[in-house]
Amino acid sequence: MDRFIINGGTKLVGTIEVKGAKNAALKAFAVALLSKEPVRIRNVPEVEDIKRMCEILKNLGAEIEHVKDGEYLVKAVKLTNYIINPDIAKKLRASIVLTAPLLARLGKVKFPHPGGCIIGERPIDVFIDGYKKLGAIISQKEDLYEISVSNKLKGAKFIFPNISVTGTESLVMAASLAEGETILKNCACEPEVESLIEFLNSCGAKISGAGTHIIKIKGVKTLKGGTYTIIPDRIETGSFAIMAASTTSILKITKCNPGHLECLWVIFEKMGIKLEYGKGWVKILPPKKIVSVSIKTREYPGFPTDLQAPFSVLLTQAEGLAMVHETIYEGRLNWTDELKRMGANVLNLDPHRIQINGPAKLRSREVESPDLRAGMAYIIAALCAKGESIINNIYQIDRGYEKIEERLQKIGADIKRI
Ligand code: EPU
């Protein structure tokens, strides 16, 4: 098992490039299954979750050509299997979005409860209820769900009880090939959802309302192929910005879209962290003293839950008392137990809220990465701590950050993989 060895306490310097958004790229592979024509996907991050997604697609009968680094060509002329490989799906929450193309094209799909990061209960009721509204029948045998439709999915009205990113993406995809009109309310507005809809429309889908809470879809018979260029990863951008601020380093982040992180920049301003930005780049200019600011995670355009862990590390380096309120997932603050052992002054109030009193001198330590974003938080904490830290279970980090150690070495981080 690979692990990272990090010697902290040094400043970062220079420029770092952002890769394509993992959470957009994973769904692009599902979109590619909706069409019988080839779909080229560009700016794909070369991460473990993408490899797992490709394995599932091949198992369903799609042909995948890895054209070059970051570029894939998917041909799904014929789908030969309607079972999403349970062993892989249990590792990958995003596998749930494959239910949409399989239902739309084959009229049936079998899958297990999807896995992924252990950050909370992560139910799938909105998918089940949504597909039922579109006319599907659901059954569950042993560990597998089966969803089927007698003829074609039929347009319907559906209100999401909770805002769900993958739920919105799945129902939009399924409704694109359904008969008639579908109206979805309380949809997710994340840039990854908006980008997916723009691509679907370029393939001939008729969808309006992308980036808003109400989306209307007029079903079409077939979709064409095309080229889908993945948007920059806003979570990676935010993680690097937070890393720079936590280590009081001046860092330029390029190939990103600063407009997708307005909420973080407003908080940075309140903390006294200066930034310069332009089209496709942002430069972080942290002061010596950073002021603490409380945050509450929210759906887009609010503070992203995926940045909660890295941001909490920043709060350990800021002056004053701040509250972190994680509203999306009930298990996403558990990682802070190790942060406390690194010397952070963290008080757990309940499963959704912690208080952080800073600044604290973090101590190096051996930790275990429980999930992707907590793994990034430990990297940042280890870069702040003097001495050698070890991060185990870095498969979790490799799931979403491409060759992270090589990219961090280039900006002066003392990190190696062993
Ligand atoms: N929810 C339900 N029922 C459902 C689905 C979701 O109650 O059927 C609840 C969840 O329990 C949670 C909330 O709705 O409280 C939001 O969950 P959502 O469905 O939006 O999460 P997701 O679509 O599974 C995506 C990202 C996550 C990111 C969240 C929130 C992908 C593959 N994953 O998850 O990314 O945290 O949206 O923005 O797109 C990550 O990349 O580290 C990650 C966990």
DSSP 190: -
Task: Check if 167 has its Cβ closer than 6 Å to any atom of ligand 1.
Answer: yes
pLDDT of residue 254: 98
Taking the C-alpha atoms of residue 159 and residue 184, their distance in angstroms, rounded to an integer, is 6
* pTM assigned to the model: 0.97
- Which of 47, 52, 129, 164, when mutated, tests ligand 1's pocket best, judged by the most ligand atoms within 8 Å of its CB? 164
CATH class of segment(s) 22-229:
alpha beta
Ligand 1 centre and the CA of 8: distance in Å? 32
The CA–CA distances, whole Å, from 401 to 135, 339, 368, 396, 409 equal 38, 21, 17, 9, 14
Q: Determine whether 68 is exposed, middle or buried from the number of CB atoms within 10 Å of its CB (0-12, 13-18, 19+).
A: exposed
Taking the C-alpha atoms of residue 187 and residue 211, their distance in angstroms, rounded to an integer, is 9
Residue 413 has pLDDT above 80, yes or no: yes
Ligand 1 centre and the CA of 164: distance in Å? 6
pLDDT in tens, 196-220: 999 999 999 999 999 999 999 999 9
pLDDT in tens, 35-65: 999 999 999 999 999 999 999 999 999 999 9
pLDDT of residue 161: 96
Same topology, domains 4-18+232-417 and 22-229? Answer is yes
pLDDT of residue 40: 98
pLDDT in tens, 323-348: 999 999 989 999 999 999 999 999 99
pLDDT of residue 117: 64
Boundaries of every domain in the chain: 4-18+232-417, 22-229
Residue 240 has pLDDT above 90, yes or no: yes
DSSP 45: -
pLDDT of residue 115: 76
Distance, first Cα to last Cα, the chain: 9
Instruction: Give the mean model confidence (pLDDT) for residues 156-161.
Output: 98
Residue nearest to atom 20 of ligand 1 (CA): 164
pLDDT of residue 242: 98
Catalytic residues: 117
Ligand 1 centre and the CA of 120: distance in Å? 10
Taking the C-alpha atoms of residue 175 and residue 43, their distance in angstroms, rounded to an integer, is 27
Instruction: Give the mean model confidence (pLDDT) for residues 232-255.
Output: 98
Taking the C-alpha atoms of residue 46 and residue 190, their distance in angstroms, rounded to an integer, is 22
Round the average pLDDT of the chain to a whole number and report it.
96
Q: Which ligand 1 atom is nearest residue 372's CA?
A: 42
CATH architecture assignment, domain 4-18+232-417: Alpha-beta prism (3.65)
pLDDT of residue 116: 63
Instruction: Give the mean model confidence (pLDDT) for residues 140-153.
Output: 92
pLDDT of residue 142: 82
Task: Check if 396 has its Cβ closer than 6 Å to any atom of ligand 1.
Answer: no
Split at pLDDT 50, 70, 90, the class of 114 is confident
